[in-house]
Structure 1
Amino acid sequence: MRLSRFYLPTLKETPGDAQIASHRFMLRAGMIRQQAAGIYAWLPLGLRVLRKIEAIVREEQDRAGAVEMLMPTIQPANLWQESGRYDAYGPEMLRIEDRSGREMLYGPTNEEMITEIVRAGTRSYKQLPLMLYHVQWKFRDELRPRFGVMRGREFLMKDTYSFDLTPEDARRSYLKMFVAYLRTFERMGVRAVPVRADPGPIGGDLSHEFVLLTENGESEVFLHKGLADLPAPGVDTDFGGDLEPLFAERTSLYARTDEMHDEGLWAEVGEADRTTLKGIEVGHIFYFGNKYSEPMGAKVQGPDGQEHEIEMGSYGIGVSRLVGAIIEAHNDEAGPIWPVPVAPFHCGVVNLKAGDAEADAACEALVAELEGQGVEVLYDDTGDRAGEKFARMDLIGLPYAVTVGPRGLKEGKVEVKTRATGEKQEVALADAASMIAERVRDALAVR
């Protein structure tokens, strides 16, 4: 992609209301633009990151056995009246009427709608277990939307819902999602630890948050050090097997946010094993039994010939929130430092003398070679000054940047910068594409 044809409205100055790194850099790097309080347009660079995150989420949901669908953003109020949550949810729900006076709402979550869909098409226990998911925009009318996409009013969520005959079956579904979440965040280049959580308005008595550990998180996390060092489950994980040992390994060590912290249990952790960090919630999973199936009449006929209320769980990942959270975990004073799997482009190519025949030809050949080896490239072919080009590459945070200029070309060399370390290497032009492609392939390999 040529930068001269790409829409990248970067800002030199930070808007005054941007208080945290992710909000500052997303605005300055031209990833988003605010349209109203807590509501953002996703510009091309930001959308590319959002789509990368979506793709990883989908792949791991599919791997765990969930099936994708899509539910509408606008929901009829009568479904929420059936469950009893319509009046209880609070002012965060945007309530509206259509032109015929029917009560509607902009969905903040989808438990009621998915329950109605499944009860209409599921009659027998033989149709269970079932896991359905969608990736959809939601709206919660936050009183004080802030921190950019980290606490906006409109946001993109992945929601999975599980349906089982018995509590034992429902627990197996819960464990599948637990493992899928560990793999999902690991593939994005971040470490999110599972912590005991308050189910809140969703309900239930088994719930975990997945918290991304950062220096500038919104919650304080009390953590056994050993938990942060456990590797993610591998690609060969058998989702049809016994996941209890893996679950026990991840939940037996103390891990709680400040709202669920227990000083008595914390005191039992050896002092050398304690650490207190900051964290950002990026996922939340719940098992809530028949909280929705009972009032809404979602039943199936069991093997005993009797009707049984379906056991349910729900599992959310904040897709748009993750864009900000990853920046909070990976940035420096110049901008984001994108992990390769979620970077908008893998590599930038900077032409220091656009319009020079030799430099143009070398850059175009390098771009073609990189793209031929599967590397996504943003080619800075503009006539801007070198300092502007370098600052822009740092601001958008691409994992690698190759600088091509007349002086280096005389010696057949280019400069390769690794954004994560700041390391700069002089590399033979003939070797640059293969070197970067190998690094990118290694970073993208699903393990």
Structure 2
Amino acid sequence: MKASQFLIATLREDPQDAQVASHRLMLRSGLVRKVGAGLYHILPMGLRVIRKIEAIVREEMNRTGAMEFQLPVLIPAELWEKSGRWNTMGKEMFRLKDRHDIWNVLGPTHEESFTDLMSQILRSYRDLPVNVYQIHTKFRDEIRPRFGVIRSREFIMKDAYSFHADAASLDETYQKMRGAYRQIFQRSGLETVPVEADSGSMGGSGSEEFMVPSEIGEEVLLLSDEYRSNQEKTPVLYAELGDTGEGSSPKNAASDKGSSGGGKKAANSGTAAAPTLADLQIIDTPKIRTIEELAQFLKCQTAELLKSVVYRTENGLVFIGIRGDRDINEVKLKNHLGCLELNPASDADFTKIGSVPGSAGPFDLKVADNLQILFDRSALTADTWITGANQKDKHVKGFYLTAEQKAGAVDLALAVNGDPSPAGDGLLREMRGIEVGHIFKLGDKYTKAFGLTVLDPDQKPIVPIMGCYGIGINRTMATVIEQNHDDKGIVWPISVAPFEVCLVSITKTEEEKSQAQAVYESMLSAGLDVLWDDRDLRPGVRFNDAELLGYPIRVTLGKFYFQD
């Protein structure tokens, strides 16, 4: 390709709204142009990179025996109603009515579509296993599109879905896909870390994300030598409760070692009725609103306090008691409640349940709006606590959990750097990462919903189980740039570079141009993917563009070449 016949849309200055290196360099090098929030034109140079990544993905998918399809982006809402996700996907799903007043979806993913299609095709166990995929456009109305194409509202995705007669077959394909993903990312020039992950709205029993370590990563990973997980998925262990990691059976009861809330063991706290305000020592805490302010005022550690967090869900109010040094893991809480949305409770919500913000406590509460009271397992690490008195500027000392409350305590806390590893091999360390791929074991959630059955060897109907496997193509391109750039521009791995070779010719005569043409043609004949920068621009401009665009190999034909 001659640069004089190719649109090279580089910019001389850094775009002001670009926050990260990949976004800045993609705009400056003319790979993309922004249309609106989370929307980007892909220009010819960027499309060449996209097509090379797609080719790697396609080769590795085909090598596993998967078959490529292409399904409509526009999906009838009735398919999503069938799976139950019409109501659970939330506002990130684009919904629209056609001229016949019928609801449709711009596909954010295609479990429903592929399952519906396979229900019309699969008939016998002999048809299984089958693995189908597409490389297609997806749409998600992200609440905060950011970092260029890393989190955008329209993107290209490879999504695959496998169907199996039994768990052993699913496990085999899952491992094949896991290996294919490692190969795809390695060939694309990415170093990835597979970690355990939450399945979210996808459902299913097993899930792994392929993460690229990056300071700009939106995901927090927690790692040890034997354990790797997304922060959202990581359980929190407490030595006080006998938690030791893999193979242990955490005790679901308070430790008898030490105590908080005044340093006294609560009398009969395991069998006593729930405490009331009359049972507790009231402490004046004027103008205290946060757990940190309370700890400073009482000259104690936040871990000696029991804080209260109140949310409103679509099903009502939920009140959580959690140790003061811990934060709520909202993914764990959503999964436990089976809810879609969590919003901080309003002042009016606190009034309804007989409490006040800043001094809320998990006792003497009015039952309103389907109020649920939950305790995180951290509340089991001491016998008594200092907590809110449900009165303005007042807290109480000596609060304890009843036996029923202890038995119902669940892990709702966010694991952090330095927590014990669930594998029992020391402490967790934190790393940030960008998710470029995700694989799931979906079970029969979708096949059951769509009535997909096949006949087994005894001619009896069985419901197949599914796997799901996704790779973000645009995001992979951006992440390659995040891992491969310097102060002059992109440094492409040769496998995904827009061109493998950039030939820059500095010619003055027709004879020199003819010689440069001969070199260019010989490169093409040798099978090289070459861009000949023959533009009538100063050499410095062309060299700067070559550095910015990051071609792996640059060949310059200058006066010394032509003299020889």
TM-score (norm. length: structure 1): 0.82
Q: Which amino acid aligns with 2:134?
A: H
**Corresponding position: 1:296 with 2:450:** yes
TM alignment of 1:361-400, pairs within 5 A: 361-400=514-553
What's the CA shift for 1:20? 0.7
> Aligned residue for 1:325?
479
The CA deviation string for residues 252-274 of structure 1, in whole angstroms up to 9 with x for no partner, is x3222333345321684468xx8
What's the CA shift for 1:384? 1.4
The CA deviation string for residues 60-102 of structure 1, in whole angstroms up to 9 with x for no partner, is 0000110011111000000000011101110011100111111
> Aligned residue for 2:262?
none
**Corresponding position: 1:315 with 2:288:** no
Q: Could you tell me which of 427, 441, 462 is aligned with 1:287? A: 441
Name the SS for the 2:222 alignment partner. Answer: strand
Structure 2 CA distance, aligned partners of 1:5 and 1:209?
41
Name the SS for the 1:87 alignment partner. Answer: helix
Q: Please say if residues 66 and 130 of structure 2, whose CA atoms lie closer than 8 Å, have aligned partners that are also in contact.
A: yes
The CA deviation string for residues 163-218 of structure 1, in whole angstroms up to 9 with x for no partner, is 00112211111111111111111111212121111111111111100112234333
> Aligned residue for 1:401?
554
> Aligned residue for 2:228?
255
Structure 1 CA distance, aligned partners of 2:76 and 2:37?
25
Q: Which amino acid aligns with 1:155?
A: F
Q: Which amino acid aligns with 1:370?
A: M
Q: Please say if residues 192 and 212 of structure 2, whose CA atoms lie closer than 8 Å, have aligned partners that are also in contact.
A: yes
What's the CA shift for 1:304? 2.4
**Corresponding position: 1:103 with 2:103:** yes
Q: Which amino acid aligns with 1:182?
A: R
Q: Which amino acid aligns with 1:342?
A: V
**Corresponding position: 1:360 with 2:333:** no
> Aligned residue for 1:415?
none
Q: Which amino acid aligns with 2:69?
A: M
- The number of aligned residues is 381
Q: Which amino acid aligns with 2:456?
A: G
Structure 2 CA distance, aligned partners of 1:368 and 1:291?
56
Q: Which has the higher contact order (CA 8 A, sep 6+)?
A: 2
> Aligned residue for 1:89?
89
Q: Which amino acid aligns with 1:108?
A: P
TM alignment of 1:140-151, pairs within 5 A: 140-151=140-151
Q: Which amino acid aligns with 2:558?
A: G
Structure 2 CA distance, aligned partners of 1:193 and 1:381?
42
Q: Which amino acid aligns with 1:393?
A: A
TM alignment of 1:28-39, pairs within 5 A: 28-39=28-39
TM alignment of 1:169-318, pairs within 5 A: 169-224=169-224, 253-262=226-235, 263-265=419-421, 268-269=424-425, 276-318=430-472
Structure 2 CA distance, aligned partners of 1:101 and 1:177?
40
> Aligned residue for 2:159?
159
Structure 2 CA distance, aligned partners of 1:15 and 1:260?
36
Name the SS for the 2:96 alignment partner. Answer: strand
Structure 1 CA distance, aligned partners of 2:197 and 2:182?
16
> Aligned residue for 1:419?
none
Name the SS for the 2:90 alignment partner. Answer: coil
> Aligned residue for 2:53?
53
CA RMSD in angstroms, aligned pairs only: 1.6
Q: 1:409 to 1:276 in 2, by over 3 A?
A: farther
Which consecutive residues of structure 2, in runs of 5 or more, have no partner in the other structure?
A: 236-418
Q: Please say if residues 215 and 329 of structure 1, whose CA atoms lie closer than 8 Å, have aligned partners that are also in contact.
A: no
Structure 2 CA distance, aligned partners of 1:118 and 1:266?
39
> Aligned residue for 1:346?
500
What's the CA shift for 1:143? 1.3
Q: Which amino acid aligns with 2:81?
A: Q
Which consecutive residues of structure 1, in runs of 5 or more, have no partner in the other structure?
A: 226-252, 413-447
Structure 2 CA distance, aligned partners of 1:93 and 1:293?
22
* Higher alpha-carbon Rg: 2
Name the SS for the 1:264 alignment partner. Answer: coil
Q: 1:100 to 1:350 in 2, by over 3 A?
A: same
> Aligned residue for 2:291?
none
What's the CA shift for 1:50? 0.1
> Aligned residue for 1:70?
70
> Aligned residue for 1:131?
131
Q: Please say if residues 349 and 404 of structure 1, whose CA atoms lie closer than 8 Å, have aligned partners that are also in contact.
A: yes
Q: Which amino acid aligns with 2:478?
A: G
Of all paired residues, the percent bearing the same amino acid is: 43
What's the CA shift for 1:276? 4.6
Structure 2 CA distance, aligned partners of 1:348 and 1:276?
40
Q: Please say if residues 196 and 229 of structure 2, whose CA atoms lie closer than 8 Å, have aligned partners that are also in contact.
A: yes
Larger mean CA deviation between 282-291 and 30-39 belongs to 30-39
Q: Please say if residues 359 and 405 of structure 1, whose CA atoms lie closer than 8 Å, have aligned partners that are also in contact.
A: no
Q: Please say if residues 92 and 140 of structure 1, whose CA atoms lie closer than 8 Å, have aligned partners that are also in contact.
A: yes
Name the SS for the 1:11 alignment partner. Answer: coil
Q: Please say if residues 157 and 319 of structure 1, whose CA atoms lie closer than 8 Å, have aligned partners that are also in contact.
A: yes
Q: Please say if residues 119 and 451 of structure 2, whose CA atoms lie closer than 8 Å, have aligned partners that are also in contact.
A: yes
Q: Please say if residues 420 and 426 of structure 2, whose CA atoms lie closer than 8 Å, have aligned partners that are also in contact.
A: no
The CA deviation string for residues 220-245 of structure 1, in whole angstroms up to 9 with x for no partner, is 333456xxxxxxxxxxxxxxxxxxxx
Structure 2 CA distance, aligned partners of 1:122 and 1:220?
40
Q: Which amino acid aligns with 1:264?
A: P
What's the CA shift for 1:308? 0.9
Larger mean CA deviation between 335-344 and 376-385 belongs to 376-385
